[in-house]
Chain A
Amino acid sequence: MKKQSRFMAGALVLVGVVGYLAVTGMKDSMMYYYTPDELAAKVTADPSARQLGAKVGGRVVPGSVRFDARTLDLRFEVVDIASGRTRFPVHYNGPLPDTFEEGRDVVVEGRLAESGTFEATTVLTKCGSRYEAADEDFRT
C-alpha cells in the first residue's frame, strides 16, 4: 500500500506541474474576441484592457487602405460590421493577405495602442467559401 501512495505522490507532483504550466500559459496567450463596438466600450470602461490581446472582427472601410509594397506597411480602418458606428485605424507590417480588399470582413489580432491605432500582429480575411452556399448562389 505504501508503494501505491508513493506513486500517487509522484503523480500528484506531475499533475501539479502541468497545472502550473497550463495556468501561466493561459495568461500569456489569451485572446479576447470583440467587435469594434465591444472593444471601444471595454477600453473606455477599463483602460488597462488595452494590455490584453484582442481578436477583432470588422469590415475594411472603403478608401482607407494604404499599402507600401516596399516597406510592407499596411494601414486601413475597420468599422463595426453590425452597427457601422465604431471605427479605428489598424496598422500591420507584412504582405497583404490574399484576397484582402476594401469592404471585406477581416479579423485582426493584436492590441489597441494608446494612440488609438490597433497594432495588429495578424490580419485574416474571412473567406466566404467555408460557408455552405445557398441554392441561389448556384444561379450564375
Chain B
Amino acid sequence: MTQIGEVALWVAFILALWGMALGFAGGRRGRGDWVLSAERAVYAVFGLLVVSSAAIIAAFVGNQYGYRYVAGYSNRELSLFYKITGLWAGQTGSLVFWGLLLALFASIAVFQNRRRNREFMPYVSGTLLLVLAFFLGVVLFASNPFQLMDFTPADGRGLNPQLQNYWMTIHPPTLYLGFTAFTIPFAFAVSALLSGRLDTRWITTTRRWTLLAWFFLTNGIIFGMMWAYVELGWGGYWFWDPVENASLLPWLTGTAFLHSVMIQEKRGMLKMWNVLLILSTFLLSIFATFLTRSGLIESVHSFAQNLTISWIFLGFLGFLIVASAALVWWRRDAFAPENRLESVVSREAAFLLNNLVFVAAMFTVMWGTMFPLISEGFTGQKISVGPPFFNRVNIPLGLFLLGLLGVGPVIAWRKATGRNLVRNFRAPAGVALAVGAVLWMTGVRNTYALLTFVLGSFTMTTIVVEFWKGTRARARIEGEGAFAAFIHLMERNRRRYGGYVVHAGFVIIFMGFAGSAYDVERQVSLRPGESMEIASPFGHTYRLTYQAMSAYPATNMTKVIASVDVAKDGRRIDVLTAEKRAYKQRDEVASEVGIRRAWNEDLYLILAGIDDVNGVIRGTNPRPLATFRVLVQPLVPWIWVGGMIMAIGTLVALWPGAEPTRPVTRQRVVRAPKVAEPEAELVEA
C-alpha cells in the first residue's frame, strides 16, 4: 500500500513538468485552455503530495522498517506523536513535506486568482510548477523516502534525542511555511517580468502572501531560538550557527522587501529594487533549504552530507540566478521611477536606509557563514569565523535600525521640515534621554545596553504617541469612547498600526538581547547537601543547594535527574531539576536543563557532568559528585514576549477584511442597525 506514495510522487512530477510547459506556452500563445490545464495540474500535484505524505506517515505508524527512511528515524518505542512528525524528521521526508506545503500555497493562490489577475496566472502557475517539479525531482532521483532495503530489520534506529522535543513539531513546519510562502510573491514577480506588467499590481496582489510568509518565517526563527534555549543546553538562544544564519538570510531581504514595496506603492520608486529583493528572498529560501541539507558547512543542525543533492541544488540555484538576472535585464527599461528622492530628510530616505541596513546585514551574515568554503576555495585553508564577527557587525547595524524605527514611520514623505521634526521628535527624544539618565544612575555602563534602551525608548515613545494621536483624533471626530476609538483606529488602518505593533515587539526583543550584556555564569562541582551562590545583576542572590541525584528508567531512555533547591535572598522559592538522558537506541546522551522563569530574568541550571553515572543508575552511589553550570540571564523572557507581540502585530496587518480604501462602505454597514431598530419595533407591534 505504501508504494502508492511513490507512484503519487512520479505522477506528480510528470504532471508538474507538463503543467509548467502548458503554463508558460499558454501565456505566450494566449491559449486560455492550456493555462486552465496548468492550473488544474497545480491542484493535482497538491492532491498527489497529500497521498504521498500520508503514505510516509502510514509507514512510520505501521512500523514498516523495510523502508530505509523509516528505519533511520523511528523505532517501536517511539511515541505516535514523533512517528507522525517523522515526515519531516529527516532529509528525504522533509523535502516531500516542503513540496506539500508549497503545493498547498500554490493551490490557494491559483484558486484565489481563478477570476482575477488572469494576465499573470499563466506564468504564475508555470513558475510554481517549475519549483514543485524541482523538489519532486530531487526527491525521486536523489533522496527517495520510499526506498526499500533488501531486508527488513526488526526495529528502527530511533529518533535523534534532540528532536524528541515538542518544538520539533512546530519549529520546522513553521520555518518551511515561511520559506514556501515566499514562492508566491516570487512567482508573481517572475510573471510581472515575463508579461511586462511591472506596475504595482504584482505587489499589491501578493501583499498578504508576503506578510504571511514573513509571519511564518519570523515565528519559525523565534521558535528555533526557543528550541535551542531549552534543548541544546548551552544557555543561549542564538549561536550564529550556519543553519540559523541560513534562515536569517531570507528574513533579512524579506523584511527589506516588506518595507520597500511601500515606497513603490506611495511614490512609484524602487521598482527594480523590489523585483530584485523578492527574487533574492526566494533564492535565499532555496539556499537555506540547500545549506541545511548539503552538509557543506559544519553545523549542529545539518542533515547528513549528500553530494548528489548538493549538485542538484547548486544547479537549480545557478539556473534561477541566471534566469532571473536575464529577465530583469530584458525588462530594464520598464523600471523607470515615477518620482525622485526629494530630500535626505524624508520618509523615503529613511526607508532606503532601512533597506541598506537589512541588505548589508544579509551580506555580512552570508559572508561569515560561507567563509569556510570561500577560504578553502581560494587558499586551500579552511577558516571559520565565529560569533564575535557576527556580533561586531550586526549589533551596531541593529542599533542603527532601532533608532531608524522611531524616525521612519513618523517623518514626513518627500521632504520633512524643521517644524515637522521638532514637533514629532521632541517628546521621544526627551523620554529617551530620561531613560538613559536613569539607567546610568542605576549603574548601567555597558554601551550597547545603554544604546539599546535609549534608542528603544525613543522608538517606543514615537509608537505610543502615534497611537495616542490617532485615538484622540478619532474619538473627537467620531464621538467614540477612548477604547472604541483605539480598536476602530487599528481596524481601519491594519497595515499601519499592525506595523507599529510589530515595531514595538522588535524593540522589546532587542531589549531582551541587551540583557545578555549582564549574564552571570558560574560552574561548580558539588556533593549532595552542598550549595553555591550566584548574584543577579538585579541585586538579589540565588542560593542553590544540590539535594539529590536519582535515576529513572523510561521507555527508550534512562533519566538521571538532579534536584536542586533554590533560595532567593535566603527565602526558599523553588526546586529545579536538571537531567541527563541516556538513550538506549543510539547510545547518545542529551541534557535537559532546568529553568526558573521570572518576569525579569531566567535562572538557568545545566547538569553538566556526573562523576559516577553508572553508580547512580545501579543505585550503588547515593552521593555522586555533580557539576552544575548555573546562569542568570536577565531580560531573556522579554525576547519571547517581544516575539509574541510581533506575531500579534503581523496578524493585525494580515487579517482579512477592510482594505484602506473601504472605510466609507463599512461605516454604512455599521450604522445600519441603529436606523433599523425602530422599524423592527413597528413591525412587531
Q: In the assembled complex, which residues on chain A have CB atoms less than 8 Å from the CB atom of B590?
A: 98
Q: Which of B150, B153, B352, B364 contacts A140 (CB 8 A)?
A: B153
Selected contact of A129 from candidates B523, B588, B608, CB within 8 Å? B588
A-B contacts, CB under 8 A, total: 132
**Is residue A22 within 8 Å, beta carbon to beta carbon, of the partner chain?**
yes
Say which residue of B71, B389, B523 sits within 8 Å of A26 (CB atoms): B389
B627 near A69 (CB under 8 angstroms)? yes
Cβ 8 A contact of A31, one of B342, B383, B587 = B383
Closest CB in chain B relative to A120 CB, distance in Å: 15
**Mask of A115-140 contacts with B, CB within 8 angstroms, 1/0:** 00000000000010111110101111
For B179-203 the 0/1 string (1 means CB < 8 A from A) is 0000000000000000000000000
A22-B393 in contact (CB<8A): yes
CB-based contact A132/B304 at 8 Å: yes
B interface size (C-beta, 8 A): 63
Question: Cβ of B386 and Cβ of A31 under 8 Å apart?
Answer: yes
| Of B206-214, B353-361, B452-460, B568-576, the one touching chain A | B353-361
Q: Any chain A CB within 8 A of the CB of B396?
A: yes
Chain B residues, Cβ within 8 Å of A132? 72, 91, 304, 306
Question: Is A69 in contact with B609, judged by CB distance below 8 angstroms?
Answer: yes
Q: List 8 A-B contacts (CB under 8 A).
A: A3-B342, A14-B357, A18-B364, A30-B385, A70-B625, A131-B305, A132-B306, A139-B153
Determine the chain A residues whose CB is within 8 A of the CB of B340 once the complex forms. Answer: 3-4
- Interface contact A95-B629, CB-CB below 8 Å: yes
Task: Give the distance in Å from the alpha carbon of A119 to the alpha carbon of B308 in the complex.
Answer: 38
A43 within 8 A of partner (CB): no
Stretch at the interface among A5-13, A58-66, A75-83, A84-92: A5-13
A55 to B371, CA, bound (A): 15
Shortest Cβ distance from B391 into A: residue: A25
Tell me the bound Cα distance from A98 to B385 in angstroms: 25
What residues on B are CB-neighbors of A29 within 8 Å? 385-389
Supposing A14-B360, A95-B627, A131-B305 touch, asked if A33 and B385 sit within 8 A by C-beta, the answer is: no
Chain B residues closer than 8 Å to A133, beta-carbon distance: 72, 157
Contacts of A6 in B (CB 8 A): 344
Q: In the complex, which residues of chain B have a beta carbon less than 8 angstroms from the beta carbon of A21?
A: 392-393, 396
Chain A contacts for B608, CB-based, 8 A: 94-95
Q: Given A29-B385, A29-B387, A131-B305, check contact A18 B372 (CB 8 Å).
A: no
From known contacts A95-B609, A135-B68, infer whether A11 and B153 are also in contact, taking CB-CB under 8 Å. no
A15 part of interface (Cβ distance < 8 Å): yes
Residues of B close to A138: CB separation below 8 A: 65, 68, 71-72, 149, 151, 153, 156-157
> 10 tightest CB-CB pairs across the interface, nearest first?
A25-B392, A95-B608, A95-B609, A132-B304, A29-B388, A33-B382, A25-B389, A98-B589, A29-B386, A69-B611
Partner of A3, one of B341, B356, B611: B341
Q: Which residue of B lies closest to A99 (CB)?
A: B589
Q: Could you tell me the distance between the alpha carbons of A61 and B550 in the complex, rounded to whole angstroms? A: 32
A7 touches B588 (CB 8 A): no
- A72–B610 Cα distance when bound, in Å, is 11
Chain A residues, Cβ within 8 Å of B103: none
Closest CB-CB distance, B154 to chain A, in whole Å?
8
